């Protein structure tokens, strides 16, 4: 009998641990039911003032998840004794939206103190930013906890470069459990937002797989030297609308980044790019599914990590 009780307890422990480690859309339904409304209203107000912020929050979430999982590590400020991820090459002088997450966190703490993680707030804000700009919606799994550390070296090595080749892109996403199809759909996020001259200069001056007229136009705002922080829309036609124009641009050899045009350059993903360019519904569905997959990269759950009271620093 004692052995049976021991086995029963072990089974219960393992079952509860497994359940605890799973994310759930209803995670805060009892403890913070107003969370979705707070995030949605803040994002709506934010995008009315600055439509570009939808892309910035989405990028912030991507840069968080690709570095040791979706754990809000990217939000941590440097201190005298701690170096976070904000100063990494892919992040420095380009990540935006930290103040938006702060605003949401402050409101959430007033209503549901010590309950909602910064990682979950970022996941919801990324979804709402896409939806408010006309893109798809998806059900966000919740229950992540916040990291108590960050990794500058991982941020420098894990995030794909705008100079990446197709094989490098596929490998980088595969390392995170994402397929080439997921990668292509997620790249469609570049239908909104802007890029700095330093990240597309080589493509518009040196690459052959670019429309000459498009290159000349972009060279007007991005000189061969200097002006590194000059901005250009990733999708010049509908910069603040989440649509499938990005893929139409690739077919016309008008991808702004070298890594963009790699998706349509006589390679294995040409047919998928063509499909997305002609079927916005297929792109929207695949993008939403890929975002859910990305949001499940190595989350901290259960008793791991913490619920930060301030998203910029550990408790």
**Is 191 annotated in some ligand binding site?**
yes
Largest CA distance in the chain: 81
Q: How far is CA 151 from the centre of its chain?
A: 17
Q: Is residue 63 annotated as a catalytic residue, yes or no?
A: yes
The residue among 217, 195, 219, 193 whose CA lies nearest residue 206 is 219
Q: Which one from 59, 63, 201, 258 is the annotated catalytic residue?
A: 63
**Is 243 annotated in some ligand binding site?**
yes
Count how many Cα atoms sit within 13 Å of the Cα of residue 57 in the half-sphere of its side chain: 34
**Is 146 annotated in some ligand binding site?**
no
**Is 182 annotated in some ligand binding site?**
no
Contact 243, 130 (CB under 8 A): no
**Is 260 annotated in some ligand binding site?**
no
Contact 57, 125 (CB under 8 A): yes
**Is 71 annotated in some ligand binding site?**
yes
d(CA 224, CA 205): 7
**Is 227 annotated in some ligand binding site?**
no
The residue among 290, 294, 288, 293 whose CA lies nearest residue 135 is 288
**Is 303 annotated in some ligand binding site?**
no
**Is 160 annotated in some ligand binding site?**
yes
**Is 235 annotated in some ligand binding site?**
yes
The residue among 262, 247, 245, 173 whose CA lies nearest residue 209 is 262
- Which parts are annotated binding residues for heme b? 190
Q: Known catalytic residues? A: 63
| Residues in the annotated binding site for substrate | 160
The binding site comprises 64, 67, 69, 71, 73, 85, 160, 190-191, 235, 238, 243
Q: Which residues are annotated as a binding site for Ca(2+)?
A: 64, 67, 69, 71, 73, 85, 191, 235, 238, 243
């Amino acid at each position: 009998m004692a052995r049976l009780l021991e086995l029963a307890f072990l089974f219960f422990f393992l079952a509860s641990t497994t359940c605890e480690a799973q994310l759930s859309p209803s995670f805060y339904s009892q403890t913070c039911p107003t969370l979705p409304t707070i995030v949605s209203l803040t994002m709506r107000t934010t995008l009315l003032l600055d439509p570009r912020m939808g892309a910035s929050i989405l990028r912030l979430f991507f840069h968080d998840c690709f570095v040791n999982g979706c754990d809000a590590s990217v939000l941590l400020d440097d201190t005298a004794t701690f170096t976070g991820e904000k100063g990494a090459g892919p992040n420095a002088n380009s990540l935006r939206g930290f103040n938006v997450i702060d605003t949401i966190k402050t409101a959430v703490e007033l209503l549901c103190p010590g309950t909602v993680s910064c990682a979950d707030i970022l996941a919801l804000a990324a979804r709402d930013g896409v939806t408010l700009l006309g893109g798809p919606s998806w059900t966000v799994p919740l229950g992540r906890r916040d990291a108590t550390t960050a990794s500058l070296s991982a941020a420098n090595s894990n995030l794909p470069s705008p100079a990446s080749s197709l094989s490098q892109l596929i490998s980088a996403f595969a390392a995170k459990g994402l397929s080439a199809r997921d990668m292509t759909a997620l790249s469609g996020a570049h239908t909104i937002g802007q890029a700095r001259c330093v990240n597309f200069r080589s493509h518009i001056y040196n690459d052959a797989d670019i429309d000459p007229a498009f290159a000349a136009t972009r060279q007007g705002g991005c000189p061969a030297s200097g002006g590194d922080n000059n901005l250009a829309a990733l999708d010049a036609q509908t910069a603040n609308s989440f649509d499938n124009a990005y893929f139409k641009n690739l077919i016309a050899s008008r991808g702004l980044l070298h890594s963009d045009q790699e998706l349509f350059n006589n390679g294995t993903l040409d047919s998928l790019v063509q499909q997305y360019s002609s079927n916005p519904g297929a792109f929207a569905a695949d993008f939403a599914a890929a975002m859910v997959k990305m949001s499940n990269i190595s989350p901290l759950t259960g008793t791991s990590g913490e619920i930060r009271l301030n998203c910029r620093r550990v408790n």
